């Protein structure tokens, strides 16, 4: 008799737990949508774009929503560098968004983030002060490293780089806030550049003021193009 009572008790407990489970499951499968909040203040990300990325997921149940897929969807949204999502019972998503921090312009339409990612804003307007880069999209990290080396070497001349491009043949072309250009090939440029910086103060004031570009592609000197049809070799 005692065994029978224990059996009945176990059945009752299982039934109660099953009822609770299906009750919660039914609520999660109901028409109520998941709600969410963004815990960060956003400067560039559009809330409409965030909503559009979230809509396919908000109708899913609390436990069924795939946070990894949701993260990837959010990180496709313009200006979003990284997204972190946490569940908060009973039907709430807490979303943290890290925006791209642009450090340079790329081409005519894109920007480059601090992480070296190329992304396309609605416009480059407001970012004209950033250095303009151009080259192979697959070589952006390498080009940023080259830019840093150029800036370190040319800081002795108080020149500010406004543009850096690398052509298909590997030649670098830089533009400066002085309005002048510098051209150097990829062969031994790390040797040619310091040599030029060291020789620059020896140039005559007249030549410096009339110089349009400095061409470092020569093994035995620098070609200076002036604002006239002629050029001079140092």
Does residue 132 surpass a pLDDT of 90? yes
Tell me what pLDDT residue 31 has: 46
Does residue 25 surpass a pLDDT of 50? no
Q: Which of 16-25, 160-169, 191-200 has the lowest mean pLDDT?
A: 16-25
What pLDDT shows up at residue 17?
37
Q: Residue 221's pLDDT is what?
A: 84
Strand 131-134 and strand 161-166: the pairing is: parallel
pLDDT band at 32 (very low <50, low <70, confident <90, very high): low
- pLDDT at position 229, please? 55
Q: What is the mean pLDDT of residues 131-152?
A: 95
Going by C-beta distance under 8 Å and a sequence separation of 6 or more, which residues neighbour residue 58? 33, 34, 35, 36, 65
The per-residue pLDDT for range 101-125, each reduced to its tens digit, is 999 999 999 999 999 999 999 889 9
Mean pLDDT of 163-168: 95
190: its two tokens: 């790390």
Contacts of 98 (CB under 8 A, 6+ apart): 40, 80, 81, 82, 83
Among the listed residues 164, 168, 169, 199, the one whose alpha carbon sits nearest the alpha carbon of residue 181: 164
Q: Please, are residues 72 and 84 in contact by the beta-carbon 8 Å criterion?
A: no
Give the pLDDT mean for 2-7: 44
CB neighbourhood size of 202 (10 A): 7
How would residue 59 be classed by pLDDT, with cut points 50, 70 and 90?
confident
Torsion angles phi and psi, residue 124, rounded to 5: -85, 0
């Amino acid at each position: 008799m005692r065994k029978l009572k224990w059996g009945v008790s176990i059945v009752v407990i299982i039934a109660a737990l099953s009822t609770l489970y299906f009750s919660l499951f039914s609520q999660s499968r109901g028409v109520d949508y998941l709600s969410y909040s963004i815990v960060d203040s956003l400067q560039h990300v559009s809330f409409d774009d965030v909503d559009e990325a979230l809509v396919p997921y908000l109708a899913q149940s609390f436990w069924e929503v795939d946070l990894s897929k949701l993260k990837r969807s959010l990180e496709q949204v313009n200006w979003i560098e990284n997204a972190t999502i946490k569940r908060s019972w009973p039907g709430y998503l807490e979303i943290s968004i890290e925006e791209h921090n642009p450090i340079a312009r790329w081409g005519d339409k894109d920007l480059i983030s601090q992480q070296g990612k190329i992304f396309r804003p609605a416009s480059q307007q407001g970012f004209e002060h950033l250095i303009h880069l151009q080259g192979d999209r697959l070589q952006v990290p390498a080009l940023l490293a080259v830019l840093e080396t150029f800036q370190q070497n040319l800081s002795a001349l108080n020149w500010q780089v406004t543009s850096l491009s690398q052509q298909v043949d590997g030649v670098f072309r830089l533009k400066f806030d002085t309005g002048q250009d510098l051209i150097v090939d990829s062969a031994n440029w790390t040797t040619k550049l310091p040599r030029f910086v060291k020789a620059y103060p020896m140039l005559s004031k007249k030549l410096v003021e009339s110089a349009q570009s400095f061409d470092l592609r020569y093994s035995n000197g620098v070609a200076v193009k002036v604002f006239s049809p002629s050029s001079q070799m140092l």
